[in-house]
Chains A and B, each alone.
Chain A
Amino acid sequence: MALYIFRRLAFFLGALVASSVAIFLLIRAAGGNVAAIVLGRDASPDAIDALATEYGLDRPLAVQYLDWIGGMLSGDLGRSFRTNESVTDLVTSRLEVSIPLALMGLTLGLLIAIPAGIFAARNAGRPSGAFVGLLSQVGIAVPVFWAGILLSLLFGVHLGWLPTGGWTPWSVDPVQALRSLVLPVLSLGTILGAVMTRYVRSAVLDVMNQDYVRTARASGMTASQALLQVGLRNAALPIVTVIGLQMAELIGGTVIIEMVFSLPGLARMILANVAAREVIVVQSTVMLIIVFVIFVNFLIDMAYALLDPRTRRGR
């Protein structure tokens, strides 16, 4: 077990190093220069070089990389070149949008997927089960941003019930803030729910065919009782894994939904800073997201290792 944890930890660190190098090089390979953006189109190349030097962008790549990583390790995410704001502050101010959006989206997705998935599994082979399956297939085929556009047309433009976009900070008006999130969460959650329904369905189907459920049923429980009391506990693990797998989907969906509803979340911030070639802001923010995702995967691995004896022996 200790060896397994050690190996996962080593992987975790390796992944961080690899992705930090990748993102560092990627944004630099994009060409362009924040100094040129700041100074505008009529600035002389000399002035731009001078400003780039002031920003420390003329130093060797290795020095810039180590400087950045060193800062990250000591908890300093760096600062925006243009405004000198710290990345920590920038990110924190965006999380009030992105985290509620992602969490509520995921919750809604699960609230749809778990009952729908169980229903589809219970009714596998029947028209009702097939119908849920088809609904889920259609949901998977709908691009999340198109769902957003349609919902904003219907509830925002046509019915005028909810804002079609924009954001009111929680501190200004919490009710309005919540209202701004309704349509984004609805679009994100529904599509996520459709995707996860399939996973839940197959997890439950697997469990239903397991011996202990058959035994439970043989001992006089109804199918529902057996499923709820014995099966669901065992199906929970694969479902937790599914949530882990959906992390990428969830973050991707959040990114694009922020755009549809012009919410000032992390994605908009990244895009604006990529456009301005604010390399430090982009590197640090993207790394934060990657660290988060890898960390969640690590936690899920650990949970799996603890719960599933087969993993403990190592693969």
Chain B
Amino acid sequence: MRWLNASLLVGLVLTLAAISVALLSLVWLPYHPNIPNIPERMLPPGAPGHPLGTDTLGRDIVAQLMVGARTSMLVGAGGATISLTLGTLLGLWAAATGRMTDEAISRLADIMLSIPGMVTALVLAATLGSGMWTTILALSAFFTPSFIRVSRSAALAVLQEDFVTAARLYGRGRLFVLARHVLPNIAGVLIVQFTLYFAAGILTEAGLSYLGVGMSRPGISWGLMLNEAQNTVGVSSPLALWPGLAIVVVVLGLNLLGDGLRDVLDPKLARRAA
């Protein structure tokens, strides 16, 4: 029962719950999340029909949280998927080819990693404008270098294994070796990395939207809700509680899932990175 650890279980439950809410929001919402209903503005939690109340324009909080879950999932998964794909391709390319390419790709990754993302994001947002796609794009730019590093070093380790050398001696092509031998062997590491950056993506998106440089209406995200709630501090602070709680729960879930997966998929790595 090595694979069934508490971390994995709790993480899986929280993550699945978040995904279910996001999926549910596609087919059912208690109210339209954007249409204002001014007479019912600023209702307290527990008001009839609005379990968590309404915001400054009378929009239902539950409905907005549900759409926020969808945004978080899309942005987190989108950012992580693009950087996983790009990063792995570049990482494998670097590992499998000669010194020059390797050096170029690795240094590029190093440079990108040394540029502080939040600071660049302030400029980037002005360049790209706000919205879901630009946020995903920004996340991909921040995360890709990490995926390059991880996939490159993991691939290098696999390439030194005997069975790879054997395959090469049999005259197998470089691409075949990468696809047949290297990729399956580094998949575990990448999946773990994916989960962790999924979570990091959700956190970063919330930060960007809070700063006003991420999502904007009619898009809804938890960070945007916190941004809007900031002006009501001293009026009705529960508005600043719910989106924050949602972020904590989902990010915690994904991180626990990542840790749990690491224990299962890559015990060696688990001990080192704990």
Contact = CB atoms under 8 A, between A and B. Distances in A.
Is there a direct interface between A and B, measured as CB atoms under 8 Å apart in the complex? yes
Interface of A: 11, 14-15, 18-19, 22-23, 26-27, 29-31, 137-138, 140-146, 149-150, 152-153, 157, 164, 198, 201-202, 205-206, 247-248, 251-253, 255-256, 259, 267, 270-271, 274-275, 277, 282, 286, 289-290, 293-294, 297
A293 B123 contact: no
B261 to A, nearest CB: 14
A157 B233 CA distance: 8
Given A141-B251, A146-B226, A252-B207, A286 B119 contact: yes
Nearest to B254: A141
Interface residues on B, range: 35 or more
A31 B129 CA distance: 10
Interface string B202-239: 01001100110000000000010010011001100100
Contact of B244 (A15, A150, A251): A150
Given A15-B114, A143-B244, A270 B119 contact: yes
B123 A286 contact: yes
B274 A290 contact: no
Contacts of A18: 111
Contact of B111 (A14, A164, A198): A14
Given A14-B107, A140-B251, 20 more contacts: A11-B107, A18-B111, A31-B127, A137-B255, A140-B255, A141-B249, A143-B203, A145-B207, A146-B240, A153-B233, A153-B237, A247-B116, A248-B116, A252-B116, A252-B117, A255-B118, A255-B119, A255-B122, A271-B122, A286-B123
A259 B210 CA distance: 9
A67 B110 CA distance: 27
Contacts of B244: 142-143, 146, 149-150
Contacts, number: 143
B126 A202 contact: no
B255 A141 contact: yes
B122 A267 contact: yes
CB-based closest 9 A-B pairs: A252-B118, A202-B274, A146-B244, A141-B251, A141-B252, A30-B126, A30-B127, A15-B111, A251-B116
27 contacts: A14-B111, A19-B115, A27-B126, A137-B255, A138-B252, A140-B252, A141-B247, A141-B255, A142-B244, A142-B248, A146-B244, A146-B248, A149-B240, A150-B240, A157-B234, A157-B237, A202-B273, A252-B117, A252-B207, A255-B211, A256-B118, A256-B210, A270-B119, A286-B120, A290-B116, A293-B116, A297-B114
A15 B110 contact: yes
B210 A23 contact: no
Interface in B24-66: none
B271 interface: yes
Consensus secondary structure, chain A interface? helix
B21 to A, nearest CB: 17
A23 B207 contact: no
A202 B230 CA distance: 37
A282 B118 contact: no
A143 B118 contact: no
Contacts of A150: 240-241, 244
Contacts of B240: 146, 149-150, 153
B210 A145 contact: yes
A130 to B, nearest CB: 9
A109 to B, nearest CB: 17
Contact of B123 (A30, A140, A205, A259): A30
A44 to B, nearest CB: 25
A27 B229 CA distance: 29
Contacts of B249: 141
A297 B271 CA distance: 26
Contacts of B199: 141
Contacts of B274: 198, 201-202, 205
Contact of B271 (A153, A205, A286): A205
Interface string B150-182: 000000000000000000000000000000000
Contacts of B229: 149
Contacts of A259: 210-211
B100 to A, nearest CB: 14
Contact of A149 (B113, B120, B226, B259): B226
B215 to A, nearest CB: 14
B256 interface: yes
A141 B248 contact: yes
B2 interface: no
Interface string B103-138: 000010011011111111011101100000000000
Contacts of A15: 107, 110-111, 114
A256 to B, nearest CB: 5
Contact of B207 (A11, A143, A290, A297): A143
Interface string B181-209: 00000000000000000010001001100
A141 B259 CA distance: 13
A19 B114 CA distance: 10
A19 B237 contact: no
A52 to B, nearest CB: 18
A29 B111 contact: no
Contacts of B126: 27, 30, 274-275, 277
